[in-house]
Amino acid sequence: VTGASFVVFNGALKTSSGFLAKSSIVEDGLMVQITPETMESLRQALRDKKDFKITCGKMDAGDLKEYVDICWVENEEKTNKG
C-alpha cells in the first residue's frame, strides 16, 4: 500500500512496450502509465463512479503483478486526510 499526495494517469503507454501498465513514485505522488484503451475505460469508470483496477507489470511476468485500485467510498472519515 502506497500513500500519495497526487496521482497522474498517463494514457500514452504503447501495447508494444510489453507492459500491461507501469506505476512509479514521482516526488510525493504516483504516476500510472496506461494504454489509451485502459485510459478510456478509466474515464468511463470515473464518470459512472465505479471502482476500477489497473494491473501493472510485464505481460509475461506471471503472478508478479502490482495493482492500482481506484475505489469509491461512502465514509470519508476512514480515508487518508492528507
pTM: 0.79
Count other Cβ atoms within 10 Å, centred on residue 32: 22
CATH H-level, domain 4-68: superfamily: Domain of unknown function (DUF3480), N-terminal subdomain (3.30.1360.220)
State the cell numbers at 58.
510485464
Tell how strand 52-58 and strand 66-70 pair up: antiparallel
**Residue 82: band (very low, low, confident or very high) from pLDDT cuts 50, 70, 90:** low
DSSP 20: E
Kindly list the domain boundaries of the chain, sorted by start residue: 4-68
Higher pLDDT, 75 or 80: 75
* 19-55 pLDDT per residue, tens: 999 999 888 899 999 999 999 999 999 999 999 999 9
